[in-house]
A and B are shown apart, each in its own frame.
Chain A
Amino acid sequence: MASLQRRVGPNIHGYYGVFQPFLDGVKLLTKELLIPAKANFYIFLFSPLLMMTLSFSLWAIIPLSFNFSIFDSRFSLLFFFILSSLNVYNIILAGWSSNSKYAFLGSVRAIAQFLSYELIFGFALLFMLLFIGSLRIFAIIYKQYYIGFLLYPLLPFALIFFVVLLMETNRAPFDLPEAESELVAGYNVEYSSIMFAMFFLGEYCNIISMSSIWIILFWGGFAAHSYGPVFFILKILLFCFLFIFIRSLLPRYRLDQLIYVGWHVMLPVCIGILFFLTSLLALTQSAALTVIATFYRPILSWTGLSRVPLKANSVKFDDLIVDTFNEYSFSILQWMARTNYAVHAFSEGLFYDLEECGYDTQKLIFKNYLQHFVDTYRGNRTGIHSAYFGSPCNINYPGLVGLFQTASLARDVEALTILELSKLKADSEESLLLAWSPYWTYYAHLNRSPLLLNYHTQHEAYSNLSDIDCLLKNTIGPREPVSAEDTFKKFTQFAYYHEPINNVSLLHALDLQLNNRIDFPEYSRAVAWKLRYKHPLHFIYDIFWKSGLTLSRRSYIPMQINHQINQYSFIPDIWAFIESREMRPKPKEFIKDNALELYSTFPLYDNTSSEPFKTEN
């Protein structure tokens, strides 16, 4: 900022003044804490604490890599939304409790500002739901890992979101609650010493977390076109610079102008873009109007949608919008990702054994795979396509996607391709080569597919060939419904008898328990004990487990497994689906019925061994 303003900044302490903020902090700490006589003592002290707490807890949802996130759920963005909305309360409380006129005016302004940006902020999430189909942070990052930055397709919206973030963090030109020249210091005018430092720290903390959210949403986070957390942090710094740049560049808005900008400019623009895109899609849905769609091509290219290699009359845009209710529909973006991955997989020689056997992989891509997809997108939703997608309304017929829970964009493609190839060459020996079935079962377990688990528990000694058969059976033919109870029981048994995937399965059992999907404490405790001394980081899990905090599955899973789980765990899974259909067993009954039964079956529950939970008996 100093260099922008052609002046020398604070550069005395350390190189380029790097110690200046710390020294400022120390200075503020050593100052006397003044509390105005007429202030409401408790609220006055509480609001800076609230500010700090909220702004630091926002950090929890920000992942630094696929392996590291403190808190992750399917509603991470919603969590962000809630916490950042709560942020206005500490301004209101601080301004009101100070019992000072300027502080009061500041808090009144904060309320008005809050009302004017919050709705736009809500639209932000709506956009995310439309284009990503998930509020999970990892889903957003992973999507961008495949299709590149979302900044370009969502450019106008990204800008609006940026402005909203400026409003959210009370930064210039929207720094009305603390407008220095009007309200002296606004809501924090009565604060001094450490309390002021808390406001200050919270504000800057907010800036960094908000900018990291923006980067995750639109600029790929740590995954897209970048190399891990270092790039992520660099991007955040760049974005923080933007905040400061704008602060030094722009004057402040007046209160009513800010409200005007919020309600009359940004909100209509937001709704306009939304309606424009949806109506565009509605238009192009009808086949007669696909020609019109070609005229929209420039706009589509601007929004990044025309990157789909389409012929003019084969455009079906209805799948662009991912509806959150139907798990089996796909956006064109997703489809692009799949196709891209397939091409990538082939070109990288993932199927090198195919080539060894004399297949022309390039030919296979275009003839069998791509052509097939193009066909399905022309409207032919039968045959292999339905085998792949399953029936959207029938849970008993989930298809391959259901089987794998659309676990990875990548694995789906592989599975489908292999399935396709094995069908073509079902009677030849090469089909054995194609079937990487241990791999599949692994992923099936990772994603807790009850159908596949069911199969595996029936045939404990499985072969590659039978795996393929099973898949074909399960996906193409309608089958019996599997109860969740059954699945889980067998799942846990399976987990014990299959050594290579043992830990993963155990952890998933634990995971199920921690996510309250199925309550099964004894088992998870056993797992915890087993894991305790295997990994240096497990004491963290211990802490969480003992304190009853189950923050996230990521806090305790060993790193090497964690990586693979994280990649695929964001897809809306069948458990959620089962839950929504009320097929989930009621937890209490389940414990009663099954705990004892499993207790007897597990070799680990040996009363003679020195397990800690022995004492509980």
Chain B
Amino acid sequence: MKQLKSKIRRKHFKTFKINFGPQHPSAHGVLRLITELDGETILSVDPQIGFLHRGTEKLLEYKTFLQCIPYFDRLDYVSMMSQEHVFVSTIEAIGKIQVPLRAQFIRVIFLEITRILNHLMAITAHALDVGAITPFLWMFEEREKLMEFYERVSGARMHASYIRPGGVALDIPHSLLDDIHTFILQFLHRLDELEELLSFNRIWRFRLTDIGIMTKEQAKLYGCSGVLLRSTGAKWDLRKHTPYEVYSQLDFKVPVSRHGDCFDRYILRVEEMHQSVLIIKQCLDMLPEGPFKTDDNNITSPFRLDSVRTMEAVISHFKLYCDGFSLPPANLYVGTETPKGELGVFLVTNNTPRPYRCKIRSPGFFHLQCVDFLAQGLMLGDLVALLGSIDIVLGEIDR
């Protein structure tokens, strides 16, 4: 009997390890989470990355600065222009290039459009993971409109490579401004519809509240930024703290919440979209006339008319696209507030037209670290909700 008892005592239940990904429908790409489960409760999560590693940082060292820009589009493929903007601002900071005011406004308009694009994707994909299908499809219609704006301004729906050193690639068509205006007016209604489906949905709140609570200390410790950091109560937004472009002239608020759970992150994203709409509205009103890129033909390609008329223009055009422009030796870090958080570029230049080293600080990488301690003790269904609220894109994490 004693033996039997000790046998029973010795017998313990094995935990259960599952491979969450890389082919999992809600792994947001090719993330692999080795998840240890006790029943449905998560004991530990071990994120494995690198399935989408393309060696971007090394590739950049062999490309001219202008050729580098499209690579940034492809890092985080749901917030394209924000990525290229960081890189371009780094170049501009090193080369001390002046950007005309009109270009700055155009940039801000499209940065905020990008923010809306990203948040729509984040929220609705999150909702899809939690089980609500409809918001995803509804909001994809809005995303489609925004993509069309991308196309009309740059010629490409997604990978625009529109923001260039010294300005933007092309001037914004006047009719597009009208259309953006009509879009933002109706978009607020669409946002309300989204909130009707989600914010006021009991099940949605039931699923999200108090899931994956993060404290301010944890968030700072793990290098979180963006919505993740602000959901814990930290007031930190680079648009306010180190204003770039024309953000200092604009009137907008940065939403902050205290609980740090999934619902907070969701509601912050919704509110940020409202603020983005306000910013776009202001930019449309304040958009000045003037050049959309610098006169410096070493950095920007000359106007088409000039290149036909003058020999110098032809030469500089040829030089720009064959050799590229070189930047003085420097190492500089520039970070901006992308939709996902602080995206930074640490650029080392050595008077050549190519970067000596380009280190990209992607916010998703830091956020993904938190999954382990956030998910401990949650259920398997919560892990999906948590991943969705963290809003990761493997393109920028793996680089």
Return A382 CB to nearest CB of chain B, in Å. Answer: 56
Residue in B25, B131, B133, B379 whose CB lies within 8 Å of A5: B133
Return A2 CB to nearest CB of chain B, in Å. Answer: 9
Chain A, residue nearest B125 (CB): A181
A172 within 8 A of B: yes
Query: Which residues of the partner chain A approach B382 to less than 8 Å between Cβ atoms?
Result: 254
Query: Which residues of the partner chain A approach B383 to less than 8 Å between Cβ atoms?
Result: 182
- Is the Cβ of B25 less than 8 Å from the Cβ of A180? yes
- Is the Cβ of A181 less than 8 Å from the Cβ of B128? yes
- Is the Cβ of A172 less than 8 Å from the Cβ of B131? yes
Residue in B18, B24, B40, B130 whose CB lies within 8 Å of A252: B130
Name the residue in B127, B198, B381 with the highest tally of chain A Cβ atoms < 10 Å from its Cβ. Answer: B381
Return B142 CB to nearest CB of chain A, in Å. Answer: 10
- Is the Cβ of B18 less than 8 Å from the Cβ of A102? yes
- Is the Cβ of B204 less than 8 Å from the Cβ of A251? yes
- Is the Cβ of B131 less than 8 Å from the Cβ of A4? no
Residue in A4, A101, A250 whose CB lies within 8 Å of B18: A101
- Is the Cβ of A257 less than 8 Å from the Cβ of B380? no
- Is the Cβ of A5 less than 8 Å from the Cβ of B134? yes
Query: Which residues of the partner chain B approach A255 to less than 8 Å between Cβ atoms?
Result: 40, 379-381
Return A8 CB to nearest CB of chain B, in Å. Answer: 11
- Is the Cβ of B137 less than 8 Å from the Cβ of A5? yes
- Is the Cβ of A173 less than 8 Å from the Cβ of B133? no
Q: How far is the CA of A569 from the CA of B128 in the complex (A)?
A: 51
Return A174 CB to nearest CB of chain B, in Å. Answer: 10
Q: How far is the CA of A248 from the CA of B133 in the complex (A)?
A: 6
Query: Which residues of the partner chain B approach A254 to less than 8 Å between Cβ atoms?
Result: 206-207, 379, 381-382
Query: Which residues of the partner chain A approach B51 to less than 8 Å between Cβ atoms?
Result: none
Contact with B along A291-304 (1 / 0, CB 8 A): 00000000000000
Query: Which residues of the partner chain B approach A6 to less than 8 Å between Cβ atoms?
Result: 137-138, 141
Query: Which residues of the partner chain A approach B207 to less than 8 Å between Cβ atoms?
Result: 251-254, 257
- Is the Cβ of B131 less than 8 Å from the Cβ of A179? yes
Contact with A along B381-393 (1 / 0, CB 8 A): 1111000000000
Q: How far is the CA of A255 from the CA of B40 in the complex (A)?
A: 9
A310 within 8 A of B: no
Query: Which residues of the partner chain B approach A253 to less than 8 Å between Cβ atoms?
Result: 203, 206-207
Query: Which residues of the partner chain A approach B206 to less than 8 Å between Cβ atoms?
Result: 253-254, 257
Given that A250-B203, A252-B130 are known contacts, is A181 also in contact with B379, CB under 8 Å in the complex?
A: no
Number of interface residues of B (CB under 8 A): 31
A249 within 8 A of B: yes
Contact with A along B106-132 (1 / 0, CB 8 A): 000000000000000000000111111
Chain B, residue nearest A175 (CB): B131
Chain A, residue nearest B16 (CB): A101
B26 within 8 A of A: yes
Q: How far is the CA of A103 from the CA of B137 in the complex (A)?
A: 28
Residue in A7, A101, A184, A256 whose CB lies within 8 Å of B137: A7
Return A341 CB to nearest CB of chain B, in Å. Answer: 45
B201 within 8 A of A: yes
Query: Which residues of the partner chain B approach A181 to less than 8 Å between Cβ atoms?
Result: 25-26, 128-131, 384
B172 within 8 A of A: no
B97 within 8 A of A: no
Residue in B24, B128, B130, B134 whose CB lies within 8 Å of A184: B24
Query: Which residues of the partner chain A approach B198 to less than 8 Å between Cβ atoms?
Result: 251
Return A133 CB to nearest CB of chain B, in Å. Answer: 37
Contact with B along A241-271 (1 / 0, CB 8 A): 0000001111111111100000000000000
B169 within 8 A of A: no
B197 within 8 A of A: yes
Chain A, residue nearest B141 (CB): A6
Q: How far is the CA of A105 from the CA of B24 in the complex (A)?
A: 15
Return B385 CB to nearest CB of chain A, in Å. Answer: 8
Return A246 CB to nearest CB of chain B, in Å. Answer: 11
Return A428 CB to nearest CB of chain B, in Å. Answer: 70
Contact with A along B15-48 (1 / 0, CB 8 A): 0101000001110000000000001100000000
- Is the Cβ of A173 less than 8 Å from the Cβ of B380? no
Number of A-B pairs whose CB atoms are under 8 Å? 84
Q: How far is the CA of A180 from the CA of B206 in the complex (A)?
A: 19
- Is the Cβ of B379 less than 8 Å from the Cβ of A256? yes
Interface size class of A (residues with CB under 8 A): 20 to 34
Given that A5-B137, A105-B40, A250-B203 are known contacts, is A182 also in contact with B380, CB under 8 Å in the complex?
A: yes
Return A448 CB to nearest CB of chain B, in Å. Answer: 53
- Is the Cβ of B134 less than 8 Å from the Cβ of A182? no
Q: How far is the CA of A176 from the CA of B127 in the complex (A)?
A: 15
Residue in B128, B134, B203, B384 whose CB lies within 8 Å of A173: B203
Given that A6-B141, A175-B131 are known contacts, is A251 also in contact with B203, CB under 8 Å in the complex?
A: yes
Query: Which residues of the partner chain A approach B16 to less than 8 Å between Cβ atoms?
Result: 101
Query: Which residues of the partner chain B approach A248 to less than 8 Å between Cβ atoms?
Result: 133-134
Return A449 CB to nearest CB of chain B, in Å. Answer: 55
Query: Which residues of the partner chain A approach B381 to less than 8 Å between Cβ atoms?
Result: 176, 179, 182, 252, 254-255
Chain B, residue nearest A5 (CB): B137
Residue in B133, B203, B380 whose CB lies within 8 Å of A247: B133
Query: Which residues of the partner chain A approach B379 to less than 8 Å between Cβ atoms?
Result: 254-256
Chain B, residue nearest A173 (CB): B203
Which A178-195 residues sit within 8 Å CB-CB of chain B? 179-184
Return A360 CB to nearest CB of chain B, in Å. Answer: 60
Query: Which residues of the partner chain A approach B130 to less than 8 Å between Cβ atoms?
Result: 181, 251-252
Q: How far is the CA of A513 from the CA of B117 in the complex (A)?
A: 73
Given that A250-B203, A251-B203, A255-B379 are known contacts, is A173 also in contact with B40, CB under 8 Å in the complex?
A: no
Chain A, residue nearest B379 (CB): A254
Contact with B along A99-128 (1 / 0, CB 8 A): 001100100110000000000000000000
Given that A184-B24, A250-B201, A253-B206 are known contacts, is A105 also in contact with B132, CB under 8 Å in the complex?
A: no
Return B25 CB to nearest CB of chain A, in Å. Answer: 6
Query: Which residues of the partner chain B approach A102 to less than 8 Å between Cβ atoms?
Result: 18
Contact with B along A1-45 (1 / 0, CB 8 A): 000111100000000000000000000000000000000000000
Q: How far is the CA of A179 from the CA of B16 in the complex (A)?
A: 19
Query: Which residues of the partner chain A approach B141 to less than 8 Å between Cβ atoms?
Result: 6-7
Q: How far is the CA of A181 from the CA of B26 in the complex (A)?
A: 5
Query: Which residues of the partner chain B approach A109 to less than 8 Å between Cβ atoms?
Result: 40
Query: Which residues of the partner chain B approach A249 to less than 8 Å between Cβ atoms?
Result: 132, 134, 197
Q: How far is the CA of A241 from the CA of B127 in the complex (A)?
A: 22
Return A494 CB to nearest CB of chain B, in Å. Answer: 64
Q: How far is the CA of A252 from the CA of B383 in the complex (A)?
A: 14
Return B276 CB to nearest CB of chain A, in Å. Answer: 22
Query: Which residues of the partner chain B approach A251 to less than 8 Å between Cβ atoms?
Result: 127, 130-132, 198, 201, 203-204, 207
Q: How far is the CA of A179 from the CA of B385 in the complex (A)?
A: 13
- Is the Cβ of B137 less than 8 Å from the Cβ of A182? no
Given that A105-B380, A251-B207 are known contacts, is A5 also in contact with B138, CB under 8 Å in the complex?
A: yes
Name the residue in B16, B127, B134, B380 with the highest tally of chain A Cβ atoms < 10 Å from its Cβ. Answer: B134
Return A99 CB to nearest CB of chain B, in Å. Answer: 14
Q: How far is the CA of A251 from the CA of B198 in the complex (A)?
A: 9
Return A184 CB to nearest CB of chain B, in Å. Answer: 6
Return B193 CB to nearest CB of chain A, in Å. Answer: 10
Return A186 CB to nearest CB of chain B, in Å. Answer: 12
Contact with A along B149-179 (1 / 0, CB 8 A): 0000000000000000000000000000000
Given that A173-B203, A249-B197 are known contacts, is A184 also in contact with B25, CB under 8 Å in the complex?
A: yes
Contact with B along A370-391 (1 / 0, CB 8 A): 0000000000000000000000
Return A144 CB to nearest CB of chain B, in Å. Answer: 32
The 3 closest A-B pairs by CB, nearest first: A252-B131, A181-B26, A5-B137
Besides A101-B18, A252-B381, 6 other A-B contacts (C-beta < 8 A): A7-B137, A181-B129, A249-B132, A249-B197, A250-B203, A252-B203
> Could you show 12 A-B contacts with beta carbons less than 8 Å apart?
A6-B141, A101-B16, A172-B131, A180-B25, A183-B380, A184-B25, A248-B133, A250-B132, A251-B204, A253-B206, A254-B382, A255-B380
Chain B residues within CB distance 8 Å of chain A: 16, 18, 24-26, 39-40, 127-134, 137-138, 141, 197-198, 201, 203-204, 206-207, 379-384
